[in-house]
Chain A
Amino acid sequence: MSILIYAESENRKLKKTAFEVASYAFAIGKKMDMDVAAVTINADSPESLGDYGVKKVLNIQNDKLNTFNVENYAEVISKAAKEVNAGIIVVSQSANAKYLAPLLSINLEAGYASNVVELPHTEDGFQVKRNVFTNKAFGMAEISTDIKIIGLSTNAFGVHDNNVNAEVSDFNPELPSTDLKVESVDKNTDKVSIADAEIVVSAGRGLKGPENWGMIEDLANVLGAATACSKPVSDMGWRSHGEHVGQTGKPVASNLYIAIGISGAIQHLAGINASKTKVVINTDEEAPFFKAADYGIVGDAFEVVPQLIEKLKDFKASNA
């Protein structure tokens, strides 16, 4: 038995989450005495997964898989799992991984736990700790099937070097027939997505209007961050729905979350609570966000943010 990871790539480049998932799987392997195999789809340099503990890579190169079609991807990953006799499968919690994992679990008759935040506990059955109630609590979940699927929450484990020699072999499973078709993809490729971002800069109604988002974009640019917004802002149409973070929006699990002019409604806080460090900038010192944040500035965003941008530029220049 081995552990299989689905190592995601984008535009042929392996994603950081692929390395995180590999690092996590290696740590499980060490604990349970299992080797880690990976499946990659149209990725360059699959051997680099060895740096994070992967011993074997099933390298799929197939032009028909250039766009993500869930039926095809779930099928080839299921076949990879059978190929390496996988007892444990680890995927990230990207939008695509969340889309395919339930299909995988039915294909493989595997129990699947999503939003997992630490290594499995194996003393009393196979148990994983996962986020529940939108980050307001944790649950220890026991997976009782022979094959187990773990969805690892982004940034929960981190990337760790484990120098192993990865043996790469070509893998060409047949694709299923499906009439599900991806017609077009509209993706802002120069901007980092909220799901992949280390840092997220988020703003709320305190900004008074969509015309004031220039400084939020500037701050995000200096930090290499994604931009996000609160629910009222997206409901009023100031920013697109895709930027709405919170309970009914996108979840955020970044290393740093900067909230500007967001009061901190319970639904918003729940959605961003998995972020490691939280900073709030708000004029109202009574804003609930101050209770959830690590660092706070009571002040006017229109004064604080431009200063912060300039100071960060200096900081970046001297730490480059």
Chain B
Amino acid sequence: MKILVCISHVPDTTSKINFTDNDTTFDTNGVQFVIGPNDEFGLTRAMWFKEKQGASIDVVTVGEKDAEPTMRKTLAIGADKAIRVDAKPADAFQVAKEIADVAKNGNYDLIIAGRESIDYNGGMVPGMVAKLLGMNFINTCVSLEIEGDKATAVREIDGGKETLSCSLPLVIGGQKGLVEEKDLRIPNMRGIMMARKKPLEVKAPVAEESRVEFKKFSKPAPKGEVKLVDADNIDELINLLHNEAKAI
């Protein structure tokens, strides 16, 4: 089985979010970048397939050179080859186009992406990749089994779960649940050493097409102080929620 895992290179979840250039650009100053958490669950599931069922894992990132340490980390975790499409990500469509172009000639049976990146939260790259390639697509995937050319997956829906089946090739939008948090892997020294020798290809972008472009960013207005209510005065809380917040 050939697996392609799409890796987003995103600010660590605890990063302070600020903007520069007159609020048009995310300020990366002092920001630590990591593998997108949703992608990391997918990569770990891919490792499970590799170890238990036999599979090769390529990873792809659309990004500039600064994304390479994040990609090396995926190699240290166990991916076999990394492909960086040398373009600054502009929007989901452009990223999906580039990934689809990488996938087109790769004969992948399975493409795993995170359900959304934690920076721009578009949640559209996996679906777009699937449609561009004419492959099956399962989003918010929390469980995935492959047997031969058949996939069985569980998708999280509003208020429950749904079990789906389809043939490969398949694109999934993955998330926590694909593997448990405790099964995520921290690269060990041997993995880090091996990663240095693994291929990291740089591919020229096919096109610079974007459809949705950020013009300006802003931050939510600072919040007022919390109103504290005495623990013995629950009536006051109900009164505030009813009359002031109009929430009940």
Binding site for B on A (CB under 8 A): 68, 70-71, 74, 94-96, 98-103, 105-107, 110-115, 127, 131-145, 178-189, 191-196, 199, 223, 235, 241-242, 244, 247-250, 255-256, 266-267, 270, 273, 276-277, 279-280, 290-300, 303-304, 307-308, 311-312, 315, 319
Give the residue name and chain of the A residue nearest to B164 (CB): A182
Complex: A181 Cα to B234 Cα, angstroms: 50
Query: Could you tell me the distance in whole angstroms from the C-beta of B236 to the nearest C-beta in chain A?
Result: 9
Q: Among A106, A111, A135, which residue has its beta carbon within 8 angstroms of that of B212? A: A111
Residue B105 CB within 8 A of the other chain: no
Q: Scan residues 190-248 of chain B and give those whose CB is less than 8 A from a CB of chain A.
A: 210-220, 223-224, 226-231, 234-235, 237-238, 240-242, 245, 247-248
Residues of A within 8 A of B132 (CB): 106
Taking a contact as CB atoms under 8 Å apart, the answer to whether A298 and B228 are in contact is: yes
Residues of A within 8 A of B231 (CB): 297-300, 303-304
Q: How many A-B residue contacts, CB cutoff 8 Å?
A: 259
Residue B111 CB within 8 A of the other chain: no
Taking a contact as CB atoms under 8 Å apart, the answer to whether A137 and B218 are in contact is: yes
Taking a contact as CB atoms under 8 Å apart, the answer to whether B220 and A248 are in contact is: no
Taking a contact as CB atoms under 8 Å apart, the answer to whether A241 and B176 are in contact is: yes
Taking a contact as CB atoms under 8 Å apart, the answer to whether B124 and A276 are in contact is: no
Residues of B within 8 A of A183 (CB): 152, 163-165
Contacts A183-B163, A247-B13, A279-B237 known; A295 to B218 CB distance under 8 Å?
A: no
Stretch among B56-64, B79-87, B134-142 lining the A interface? B134-142
Residues of B within 8 A of A235 (CB): 180-182
Taking a contact as CB atoms under 8 Å apart, the answer to whether B14 and A267 are in contact is: yes
Residues of A within 8 A of B224 (CB): 294
As a 0/1 sequence over residues 25 to 59 of chain B, the CB contacts with chain A under 8 angstroms (1 = contact) are 00000000000011000000000000000000000
Complex: A315 Cα to B234 Cα, angstroms: 11
Contacts A141-B213, A144-B212, A180-B136 known; A95 to B165 CB distance under 8 Å?
A: no
Residue B131 CB within 8 A of the other chain: yes
Q: Scan residues 145-191 of chain B and give those whose CB is less than 8 A from a CB of chain A.
A: 152, 155-167, 175-177, 180-182
As a 0/1 sequence over residues 110 to 136 of chain B, the CB contacts with chain A under 8 angstroms (1 = contact) are 000000001111111111101110001
Taking a contact as CB atoms under 8 Å apart, the answer to whether A241 and B142 are in contact is: yes
Taking a contact as CB atoms under 8 Å apart, the answer to whether A277 and B176 are in contact is: no
Taking a contact as CB atoms under 8 Å apart, the answer to whether A295 and B220 are in contact is: no
Give the residue name and chain of the A residue nearest to B115 (CB): A98
Taking a contact as CB atoms under 8 Å apart, the answer to whether B159 and A196 are in contact is: yes
Residues of B within 8 A of A319 (CB): 242
Taking a contact as CB atoms under 8 Å apart, the answer to whether B181 and A141 are in contact is: no
State the interface size on chain B (CB cutoff 8 A): 80
Complex: A156 Cα to B245 Cα, angstroms: 16
Taking a contact as CB atoms under 8 Å apart, the answer to whether A142 and B215 are in contact is: yes
Taking a contact as CB atoms under 8 Å apart, the answer to whether A277 and B247 are in contact is: yes
- A131, A139, A182, A191 interface centre (most CB from chain B within 10 Å): A139
Taking a contact as CB atoms under 8 Å apart, the answer to whether A127 and B215 are in contact is: yes
Taking a contact as CB atoms under 8 Å apart, the answer to whether A185 and B242 are in contact is: no
Query: Could you tell me the distance in whole angstroms from the C-beta of B38 to the nearest C-beta in chain A?
Result: 7
Residues of A within 8 A of B139 (CB): 70, 95, 98-99
Taking a contact as CB atoms under 8 Å apart, the answer to whether A137 and B217 are in contact is: yes
Taking a contact as CB atoms under 8 Å apart, the answer to whether B124 and A144 are in contact is: no
Taking a contact as CB atoms under 8 Å apart, the answer to whether B227 and A103 are in contact is: no
Complex: A309 Cα to B176 Cα, angstroms: 33
Taking a contact as CB atoms under 8 Å apart, the answer to whether B136 and A179 are in contact is: yes
Q: Among B137, B160, B228, B247, which residue has its beta carbon within 8 angstroms of that of A185? A: B160
Query: Could you tell me the distance in whole angstroms from the C-beta of B71 to the nearest C-beta in chain A?
Result: 21
Q: Among A132, A182, A193, A270, which residue has its beta carbon within 8 angstroms of that of B158? A: A193
Chosen A-B contacts, 12 in total, with CB atoms closer than 8 Å, are A101-B124, A102-B128, A112-B124, A112-B212, A133-B11, A180-B136, A242-B161, A280-B226, A292-B223, A295-B229, A299-B231, A312-B238
Taking a contact as CB atoms under 8 Å apart, the answer to whether A111 and B248 are in contact is: no
Residues of B within 8 A of A113 (CB): 212
Contacts A137-B220, A144-B211 known; A98 to B123 CB distance under 8 Å?
A: yes
As a 0/1 sequence over residues 75 to 112 of chain B, the CB contacts with chain A under 8 angstroms (1 = contact) are 00000000000000001110010000000000000000
Residues of A within 8 A of B230 (CB): 297
Residues of B within 8 A of A184 (CB): 162-163
Residues of B within 8 A of A186 (CB): 160-163
Residues of A within 8 A of B175 (CB): 248
Contacts A194-B158, A277-B241, A296-B227 known; A114 to B123 CB distance under 8 Å?
A: yes
Taking a contact as CB atoms under 8 Å apart, the answer to whether B240 and A295 are in contact is: yes
Give the residue name and chain of the B residue nearest to A128 (CB): B212
